[in-house]
Amino acid sequence: MNGIVKKENRLPREVWVAGISLKGLWPVETTEKRMKDVLERMESVYAFEPDIICLPETINISWVNESKTIQEVAEDEANPGPITSMLAEVARKQNCYITCPIVTKKDGRLYNSSILLNRQGKIDGVFHKVHPVSTEIIPETYYKGGGITPGTVKPAIYKTDFGSVGMQICMDAEWIDGWHSLKEDGAEIVCFPSQGPYSNTLRNHAWVNHYYIVSATGEDAQVIDITGDLIATDGEFARWVCVPVNLEKEFLHIWPHIKKFDSIQKKYGRKIRFKIYHPENWATLESLDPDIKVRNILTEFEIPTYDEQIRQSASTQNKYRLKP
Amino acid sequence: MVNKKNVSRRNFIRQSSLGLSASSLGFGAGIVSSSVVSTIDDVHGDKKLPREICVASVDLKGLWPETRRELRIKRILERMDEVTGMKPDLVCLPELFDTSWVEEEIPLNKLAEDEKIPGQVTTRIAAFARKNNCYVVCPMFTKKDGNFYNSSLLLDRAGSIAGVYHKTHPTETEIFPNQAFKGGGTVPGAIDQPLIETDFGKLGMQICYDANWADGWDNLKKKGADIVLFSSQFPGGRMLNYYALKNEYYIVSSTGQDARIVDISGNDLDCTSEFVRYAWATINLDKVNVTTWPTRDKLPGVFKKYGDRLRIKVWGNTDVITIESRDPLLKVLNVLKEFEIPTYADLLKNETDVQNKHRL
């Protein structure tokens, strides 16, 4: 785990993200016991002063034996119910955002949701699982007393005080539409509450879309880099992760710009960090200095981001491609 | 050099490579031994399954820079010779294998060969294909209707040109005349290019910078590619693992740094290493991906009925289970039907239909 860095000493775009795994906490008899266990586990990350904590899918009912109808457990999206209120209090006390994944109700419909609570414990937004499995949708199959409605395929992103956050839930990992939509809308971090871990699948979504992913699942909790590299994972002796991610970081193709990397490093020294991904011919460049913006360096040395380069190349290719 | 147990260094390396392939396949519990035996049998061509083939690939590592083109071709042919013991059905070569990182400067119009009538280099690779009764991916410059292309020719077992792929996404320096290439530039290939039919399945091709765009890879999936051949200067790394899993086809890569065989599950089956500059594997085209959920509940019944007639691998690093038939009389799709297990693609389609029906 990373050492504790007090907020006042952090970089301007350094965000401490935490994920809590549900491993070892299921099955359990009651929701009350589940929430007690989860709150205890969350306490491990408070010392790091996290900016956001991600919790697993349907945190209060996944693998809970207590039999309640979906109507009984669903909470209103406008007026916080018992689970939302419980976690809102944590958000307030710890001065952090929390993704609170529960079943919600809105306009007579039920959703498998992830509520984003802000540092004041207020609801900043609600994400509805885009691709619930059919057993969740069809009433009385998975849920007693009803079924849930799939969310829009173009989910919203939420502007927080540290950056843009998107969410996806569990089986959403199998479809690319929601992930692409979040990228198009500028998500920098995607929180992924889930029952299943989807390890490599998440890593692929991260590098394809160049955003960080924080997962909290029934099996594990992970933080994934914009390159798909695993930054941190939970394990047998710590069922949580809490690490910094730097949003002042860009994803690059190395050709032909790698010829300039030495000059840039020479000029900026320890104030920046390059990481080269040799097999993929990628690189990342991040700023380690509060006064240095990566975009300014790229402009100074005439280096496009990966996405800009691919767009430019495609434009040239289309110009020279023969018409069918 | 042969020791008392008749194990030469070369055979030792081959056996090590075999071991690597077998272990990386990660056979299901209780069927490891039989799988390894059948792999060895397959090498000698004794017990091939109906849709099982041997694919091989050589990389360029250690062969560059090279001073002269002729030396490069000679060395590639030597490296290709090393895989002939596996009796491959298909051999893949790296992008522009005769000119990549070769110092001798030859203008494009002298390098580029006709796409119908084999030229000087194609003829030599075709002779290898004929002699070894295999298909060969021969990546080189071609010319057609006055235009140059960065291409991959597919040569069939008779050494004839079975098809050609034009790199869809060349870099700008390849396109603009006299930048990357002396005496001209290459034209980007069409986005939609046909698959090439072989006697074992449908092949698609991609080249180098193409890895940065999903369009070509997705298109090959839509057309039903069984295997995609990736000839390149750069290795591609995790991008290839992603495309293989996403599109459920095998990828055989041959690059300036490595050569790999990537499974439909997105996992490497074999990869070149410091002492072995070729990769190979027997792969079964009668193999499908299914999702862990809801298949996992049905696996005990499948195992109980079919045992080692199927090879089932639950991959821990994705949400995928691969199922392949090890019995010529058993078709995987029939097993799935019997146990009402949807393929990965069918499951997503069915689930999408239900979601769209209920979405506001």
Q: pLDDT tens across A209-264, in order?
A: 999 999 999 999 999 999 999 999 999 999 999 999 999 999 999 999 999 999 99
Percent of chain A with pLDDT strictly greater than 70: 98
In the listed set B245, B267, B284, which residue is the last one of a domain according to the structure?
B284
Query: What is the domain partition of chain A in residue ranges?
Result: 7-246, 249-320
C-alpha distance from residue A279 to each of A17, A37, B2, B121, B320 (Å): 28, 43, 36, 29, 24
- Measured between beta carbons, the chain A residues lying within 8 angstroms of B241 are 200
Q: Determine contact: B291 vs chain A, CB below 8 A.
A: yes
Q: B252: domain CATH number?
A: 3.60.110.10
Query: What secondary structure letter does DSSP report for B11?
Result: H
| Overall fold of domain A7-246 | Nitrilase/N-carbamoyl-D-aminoacid amidohydrolase (3.60.110)
CA-CA distance, B13 to B18, in Å (whole number)?
A: 8
Note the pLDDT of residue B28: 27
Residue B37: inside a domain: no
CA-CA distance, A213 to A207, in Å (whole number)?
A: 10
- Spatial CA neighbour of A148 closest among A79, A80, A61, A28: A61
B185 and B292 in one domain? Answer: no
CA-CA distance, B124 to B236, in Å (whole number)?
A: 28
For residue B39, pLDDT beyond 60: no
Pairing of strands B135-144, B147-155: antiparallel
Contact A313 B318 (CB under 8 A): no
B303 and B175 in one domain? Answer: no
Q: Determine contact: B169 vs chain A, CB below 8 A.
A: yes
Q: Would the CA dihedral through A246, A252, A254, A256 be positive or negative? A: negative
C-alpha distance from residue A50 to each of A168, A285, B129 (Å): 20, 24, 61
CA-CA distance, A286 to A278, in Å (whole number)?
A: 17
B354 and B207 in one domain? Answer: no
**B293 closest CB neighbour out of A138, A196, A318:** A196
Q: Determine contact: B297 vs chain A, CB below 8 A.
A: no
Note the pLDDT of residue A324: 82
C-alpha distance from residue A260 to each of A34, A253, A268, A292, B60 (Å): 54, 12, 12, 18, 26
B170 and B111 in one domain? Answer: yes
User: pLDDT tens digits, residue range A26-79?
Assistant: 999 999 999 999 999 999 999 999 999 999 999 999 999 998 999 999 999 999
CA-CA distance, A320 to A13, in Å (whole number)?
A: 41
Q: What angle do CA A143, A194, A115 make, to 5 degrees?
A: 80
Which residues, in sequence order, are CB contacts of A290 under 8 Å at separation 6+?
A11, A12
Residue B30: inside a domain: no
In the listed set B229, B263, B284, which residue is the last one of a domain according to the structure?
B284
Average pLDDT over residues B279-286: 97
B253 and B201 in one domain? Answer: yes
Which domain covers residue B87, as residue numbers? 48-284
B303 and B280 in one domain? Answer: no
Note the pLDDT of residue A4: 65
**DSSP 3-state assignment of B358?**
helix
**DSSP 3-state assignment of B314?**
strand
Residue B206: inside a domain: yes
Note the pLDDT of residue B42: 44
Q: Strand pairing partners for A238?
A: A235
- Strand stretches in chain B, DSSP E: 52-58, 90-92, 113-114, 135-144, 147-155, 161-166, 196-197, 202-207, 227-231, 250-254, 259-262, 268-271, 278-284, 287-291, 310-314, 320-325
B251 and B152 in one domain? Answer: yes
- Spatial CA neighbour of B250 closest among B238, B237, B260: B260
For residue A139, pLDDT beyond 70: yes
Note the pLDDT of residue A1: 44
User: pLDDT tens digits, residue range B320-347?
Assistant: 999 999 999 999 999 999 999 999 999 9
Q: What region does B7 belong to: left with phi over 0, alpha with psi -120 to 50, or beta?
A: beta
Rg (CA), chain B: 21
Within 13 A of B71's CA, how many CA atoms are on the CB side? 10
Note the pLDDT of residue B318: 79
User: pLDDT tens digits, residue range B254-282?
Assistant: 999 999 999 999 999 999 999 999 999 99
Residue B11: inside a domain: no
Contact A316 B175 (CB under 8 A): yes
What the block records as the tokens of B170 is 């060349």
In the listed set B258, B284, B310, which residue is the last one of a domain according to the structure?
B284
DSSP codes joined into one string, B93-105: --TTTTTTTB-S-
User: pLDDT tens digits, residue range B85-128?
Assistant: 999 999 999 999 999 999 999 999 999 999 999 999 999 999 99
User: pLDDT tens digits, residue range A170-206?
Assistant: 999 999 999 999 999 999 999 999 999 998 999 999 9
- Measured between beta carbons, the chain A residues lying within 8 angstroms of B187 are 320-322
Residue B306: inside a domain: yes
**A317 closest CB neighbour out of B188, B239, B351:** B188
Note the pLDDT of residue B229: 98
Amino acid code (one letter) for A184:
E
Indicate the Cα dihedral angle A253, A258, A263, A267, nearest 10°: 30
B227 and B242 in one domain? Answer: yes
User: pLDDT tens digits, residue range B143-175?
Assistant: 999 999 999 999 999 999 999 999 999 999 999
Of B318 and B298, the one with more pLDDT: B298
Indicate the pLDDT class of residue B48, thresholds 50, 70 and 90: confident
Pairing of strands B202-207, A97-106: unpaired
Contact A137 B245 (CB under 8 A): no
B254 and B118 in one domain? Answer: yes
Rank A207-221, B2-16, B30-44 by mean pLDDT and report only the highest.
Answer: A207-221
Query: B52-80: b or e for each residue (b if 16 or more CB lie within 10 Å)?
Result: bbbbbbbbbbebeebeebeebbebbeebb
Q: Strand pairing partners for A297?
A: none
C-alpha distance from residue B78 to each of A34, B58, B81 (Å): 65, 10, 5
How many separate domains does chain B show?
2
B293 and B280 in one domain? Answer: no
Average pLDDT over residues B55-72: 97
Test the A interface: residue of B148, B355, B357 with most A CBs within 10 Å: B355
Amino acid code (one letter) for B190:
A
Contact A322 B175 (CB under 8 A): no
Of A7 and A153, the one with more pLDDT: A153
Residue B337: inside a domain: yes
B324 and B226 in one domain? Answer: no
B346 and B225 in one domain? Answer: no
| Residue B222, min C-alpha distance to chain A (Å) | 16
